[in-house]
Amino acid sequence: MLYMRKRFTHTLKLYLLLLPLAVWGCQGNTKKDEGLAATHPELAEELARDSLTVPYSDSTSEQLYNRYRITTEEYRSSGNYSVGNLYRGRMAPLDEASHADARGFRTAIRKGMEEGVNFAGKYTVVSIGCGTGCQQHYVVDRETGKVLDKVQSSMGASYSADSRLFIVNPPDSAIDYEACNQCTPEAFVFENDKFRKLEQQNR
């Protein structure tokens, strides 16, 4: 019995010695956990406020895509390039002397002309591949059979039968515009039997 009393007394003394250390440690951890909020409350509030108000920044490629898309939509909706009635007359034979490439691609051009009017009221655009990531687009006048002009693209083209607007490399969200310099969309208007490039608007 005496032995157990001495052991209990020894344990109690040891506990009383360790108690201040434990309390001090808890206080230290509490201050450490408070971090920036305890030492610089105004800065902590400012950072929290900024995290809610600063918008998410898209990548450069996404920003370029959105700029190209908006510009293209503005061209299309402007009404400046619309044409009236479509040509419904007969299709003239291909004039192989009208363009330097006409004879070499005569089979493909004649085949493409069977599609009918698909551009600017009375023309047929015939697209021919020229290698990986390369397409040449020839404009053929169905009334005269002449190959009037051509333009080259890397990612195809967009055009319609009732408009003189021709978009090379139409905007595509899947394209990495930072990595592909040849993929930049370009807008042309067809006038006086030739393509004229429209100036890209800065945004």
- For CA atoms 83, 79, 189, 75, give the dihedral sign: negative
pLDDT in tens, the chain (203 residues): 434 444 444 444 444 444 444 444 444 443 434 444 455 555 456 545 544 443 434 588 899 999 999 999 999 999 999 998 999 999 999 999 999 999 999 999 999 999 999 999 999 999 999 999 999 999 999 999 999 999 999 999 999 999 999 999 999 999 999 999 899 999 999 999 999 999 865 55
Q: Residue 75 in contact with residue 69, Cβ under 8 Å?
A: no
Residues 136 and 70 in one domain: yes
Residue 203 within any structural domain of the chain: no
Residues 104 and 177 in one domain: yes
- Which residue range(s) make up the domain with 41? 2-53
- Among the residues of 40-130, which ranges form H helices? 41-53, 60-77, 106-113
127 bridge partner residues: 137
Write phi, then psi, for 115 (nearest 5 degrees).
-70, -20
- Looking at the 3D structure of the chain, how many domains does it have? 2
Residues 89 and 119 in one domain: yes
Q: How far apart are CA 200 and CA 75, in angstroms?
A: 11
3-class SS of residue 169? coil
Residues 126 and 27 in one domain: no
Model-wide pTM > 0.95: no
Q: How far apart are CA 59 and CA 7, in angstroms?
A: 71
